[in-house]
Amino acid sequence: MDAQTVKIALLIVHLGLLILAVQRKHRTSLIYISILTVGMALSLGNSTLSTLAFYIVTTASALFGYYGLNGKDVDPKWKWPITLTGFYILLVGIFQSGHLQGMMIVYYLSIIPIAFWLYATSRGFFRAPQWTFTTAINVVLLYQFSRLLF
């Protein structure tokens, strides 16, 4: 499977997340996931512009996590985990510049817990505390970042 196929598959995952966010009427999740989906679509090319789009979107999503997650429909506990996640992704991207496929795989490992949490809570399977999936995301990304340094 080549990098382009991976990116297209992950774009489809994002579209599914958008549908879940709409079903839950969760405005902030919808905006956040929309930013990431647009970034995924822009990064489908292999040019410098698509790499730059990826950096811009990860920075924007981190800043959105910090400044935008203070709305009434979102628990303030989300602010720091999502901000840290965005900046971990950005740091990994900077250290792996030139290796877009590896960067994308690290980035999208963080989507899996979000997708599971959104699906499970929308179906009423369980009431997961919000820290469960944000902690999982940050552990995965911190591990990847530490591997780059040592």
Provide the percentage of residues in the chain whose pLDDT is more than 90: 0
- Other CB atoms within a 10 A radius of the CB of residue 113 amount to 18
- Other CB atoms within a 10 A radius of the CB of residue 89 amount to 26
Cα separation of 126 and 109, whole Å? Answer: 22
Tokens describing residue 94: 């900077």
Provide the percentage of residues in the chain whose pLDDT is more than 70: 0
Q: How many domains does the chain have?
A: 1
Q: Coil, helix or strand for 99?
A: coil
Residue 115 identity: A
Q: What are the pLDDT digits (tens) for 54-77?
A: 666 656 655 555 554 444 445 555
pLDDT at position 105:
58
Distance of CA 139 to the CA centre of its chain: 14
Cβ neighbours of residue 145 under 8 Å, at least 6 residues apart? 88, 91, 92, 95
Residue 54 structural domain:
3-149
Where does the pLDDT of residue 5 fall: very low under 50, low under 70, confident under 90, or very high at 90 and above?
A: low
Please give the model's pTM, rounded to 2 decimal places: 0.37
